[in-house]
Chains A and B, each alone.
Chain A
Amino acid sequence: MLSWLVPQASTSARDIDWLFTLILVTVGFWFVVAQAALFTLIFRFRRRPDVAAAYISGERKEEKRWISRPHALVIVCDIVLIAGALLTWKAVKQDLPPADERVRIIAQQWAWVFVHPGPDGKLDTDDDVRTVNDLRVKIDTTYHFELTSRDVVHSFSVPAFRLKQDAVPGRIVTGWFRPTRLGTYDIQCAEICGIGHALMPARLTVETPAEQAAWYASRSAQGG
């Protein structure tokens, strides 16, 4: 449902959107039911001539049910939502599927530096490709990222991947993503990091292996 507004371009996006939909449908359904009951009762027991208003103390069994039954339903819904949230958290944050490739992401005021593994698919070799504000990844490939910061706390946010992870100076944070849709998407810093925070966007391109090989070759031809 959320994909109508923001493209769904990774496996995590699918999981997060599933949780979003679960919450929206569960809460939305009971919201509609509660409002319908409220307005029905208001209409049914509206003011009439010669009918005195009754004082309801809420002590009779059939009156108490209006509190106890919705209460029980809310608890059941809470359990369902918590279970859904835990399942999603496990799939997105706790599980670390084996990596096909690794990328390094270095945040600084106010730019992103990306280290791509190059044609050999391994970081820290001579063919690594470093770029500024331009991350390129292959579709249907599981990436582990090593995220760090050169100065202050930043947050690596890719809305199309439903991915947001803080970058902390002095720490290397490991995470993962698996792109599922070709295209170009926004990267943004999601943590106020100084006066240039708003001017810290970058671009993420999900491409085919052939396109990435051609890009590596073009970089190599340019000497960079």
Chain B
Amino acid sequence: MVGVWLERRNPARGSRWGGVNRAASALLLAATAVWTKPAATCADLLARGRELYVLCSSCHGDRGQGDRQRSAPAIGGLPQWYVEAQLHKFLAGERGYHPDDVTGLQMRPMAQAVHRGDDLQAVAAYVASLRPQPWPRTQHSGDTTRGQTLYATCIACHGADGKGNEALKAPRLAGQADWYLIDQLKKFRSGQRGAAPGDAMGAQMRAMVNVLPDDNAIADVVAYISSLRP
């Protein structure tokens, strides 16, 4: 590029500047070879993810165990593809877009902290590498038997064991905090989640949540999910 620029600047002196041109090009190539970083290895990615996770740990905890007081779900051990997908949604304004979604609005700017380069993949890889931290039940009002019946609709995507299905972009539910699941199901129902243009998976989930007509049904199905082994 430098060579081309010199050529254009000095069209009449092309031959005289030819040597400089070639030398500049060679220098540029050498500099590029030195400055170009090799592709990040898996270990590099995890190390970078660990650095970035410091920001996340202020709410989600240093082991990704979550914190109910901060309405932060357990994220340790969630699949990398799912964490990446959700961070992309927060970045694109497909999650945390609704004026009433207080916790989603908290998370939305956090995703902006990992928008550069492969930061998003790095933090997702690190989160996936953490050991899952199952939550104890905190809600005891749901009817597990009725919840099992209602869960029949969820099986198609989330699986009978609640372990999710990457092919269908359905996350693991077993082991997730019951208060968080209740909160999210209510958000899907009210349109605080899953109603943004472009969020196809969210739209699917909004349609599915219609099988849960009221708060009791949500409590029942979550009671059943909480009974599944993570």
Interface residues of A (CB under 8 A from B): 106, 108-111, 113, 130-132, 150, 195-196, 199-200
Contact = CB atoms under 8 A, between A and B. Distances in A.
B97 A132 contact: yes
Given A110-B109, A111-B108, 17 more contacts: A108-B102, A108-B106, A110-B105, A110-B106, A111-B105, A111-B106, A111-B109, A130-B99, A131-B99, A132-B98, A132-B99, A195-B59, A196-B106, A196-B109, A199-B109, A199-B112, A200-B109
A196 B99 contact: no
22 contacts: A106-B99, A109-B106, A110-B105, A110-B109, A111-B96, A111-B105, A111-B108, A111-B109, A113-B99, A130-B99, A131-B99, A132-B97, A132-B98, A132-B99, A132-B105, A150-B102, A195-B55, A195-B59, A196-B109, A199-B110, A199-B112, A200-B109
A150 B58 CA distance: 20
B152 interface: no
Contacts of B155: none
Interface residues of B, number: 15
B104 to A, nearest CB: 9
Contacts of A196: 106, 109-110
Contacts of B96: 111
A97 to B, nearest CB: 28
Contacts of A106: 99
B113 interface: yes
A131 B112 CA distance: 19
Which of A108, A109, A132 counts the most B-chain CB atoms under 10 A from its CB?
Answer: A132
A108 B98 CA distance: 13
A113 to B, nearest CB: 4
Nearest to B93: A132
Contacts of B109: 110-111, 196, 199-200
Q: Which 5 A-B pairs have the closest CB atoms?
A: A199-B109, A111-B105, A130-B99, A113-B99, A110-B109
A195 B107 CA distance: 11
Interface string B83-115: 000000000000011110010011011101100
Q: Which of B96, B106, B112, B113 has most chain A Cβ within 10 Å? A: B106
Nearest to A110: B109
A108 B105 contact: yes
Contacts of A130: 99
Given A111-B105, A132-B105, A199 B99 contact: no
B51 to A, nearest CB: 15
A131 B98 CA distance: 8
Most buried by A among B59, B96, B102: B102
Contacts of A131: 99
A61 B65 CA distance: 79
Interface in B103-158: 105-106, 108-110, 112-113
Contacts of A111: 96, 105-106, 108-109
A196 B108 CA distance: 10
Nearest to A196: B109
Contacts of A113: 99, 105
A200 B102 CA distance: 14
Contacts of B105: 108, 110-111, 113, 132
